[in-house]
Amino acid sequence: MTLIAHLGELRRRLLRVTGAVILGAIVCWVAYPEILDFLLRPYCQVRLNNPSNSIFGQSCELLVTDPMEPFGVRMMVAGYGGMTLAMPVILWQMWGFIAPGLYPKERRWAVPFVAIGVLLFAAGLALSFWSLPKALDFLVYIGGPDLVSIFSPVKYLGFVVKMSIAFGVAFEFPLVLVALQILGVLDNQTLRNGRRYAIVGIVALVAVITPGGDPFTLMILSVPMVLFYEGAILFGRIRNRRLRAKE
């Protein structure tokens, strides 16, 4: 393909991704009340366990101080929700764009690539949502009993979104390592030799990408990423043995 053809292909892929995101955003706009109730559950759990830290008691309302804030919150939920629902399409279009540059034996990984990518992203979101109450509990009460927490919708939902994206993207880590080994860009021996450096790098990266910075979140995301790294090494070993056997 020529450069113009590549740009045309990229344009078509981006238009499909944009359409999928817009469609997902419309769905999330309609289902906004249910989505907001779902996103408020970690906050409500913290409030229920410690009602004395809020002027609202056990209630878990968020404080709005700007007339435009409710509209902005709904747009935020619809936008990020649309991207989440469109994730299968996004991954498929990514693979479709790079597939022409691959050998036929490498293209057979298309369906597993997309399916595993979606499952890993969903697993990251689930782990993020499970860890949110504990992270919020730490952040709310680390300042002491004299500080009363009153969250605005934008601040709270921004925190939730950043946590979710950090976990979801981090869970794509093993897929990247496996893909690089399949494409021959990364050698399995290199992964094994750099294991200790990788562990330190993973912990440092998690500390940067997670918005809370609390030790619980740091541990709960670092451990799976280290296990993913070991899993990628194991995959490479098994794959190399099979290639040697075929030779």
Structural domain spans, the chain: 3-241
Q: Report pLDDT for 17.
A: 93
Per-residue confidence of the chain (247 residues) as pLDDT tens digits? 677 887 888 899 999 999 999 999 999 999 999 999 888 888 888 777 665 555 555 567 788 888 888 898 999 999 989 998 998 888 888 877 877 776 777 677 777 887 888 889 889 989 988 888 888 888 877 777 777 777 888 888 888 888 888 888 888 888 888 888 877 778 888 888 888 888 898 888 888 877 766 787 888 888 888 998 899 899 888 888 888 888 7
| pTM (2 d.p.) | 0.78
Amino acid identity of 187?
D
Q: Report pLDDT for 116.
A: 86
Q: Report pLDDT for 23.
A: 95
| Structure-token match 């946590």, residue found | 163
The CA-atom distances, in angstroms, between 45 and each of 87, 232, 235 are 29, 36, 40
Q: Can you tell me the distance from the alpha carbon of 177 to that of 181, in angstroms, rounded to the nearest whole number?
A: 6
Please give the DSSP secondary-structure letter assigned to residue 142.
T
**Which stretches within 31-68 are classed as H helix?**
32-39, 41-49
Q: Report pLDDT for 56.
A: 56
**In sequence order, which residues have a C-beta less than 8 Å from that of residue 210 and are 6 or more positions away?**
162, 163, 166, 217, 218, 221
Q: Report pLDDT for 168.
A: 87
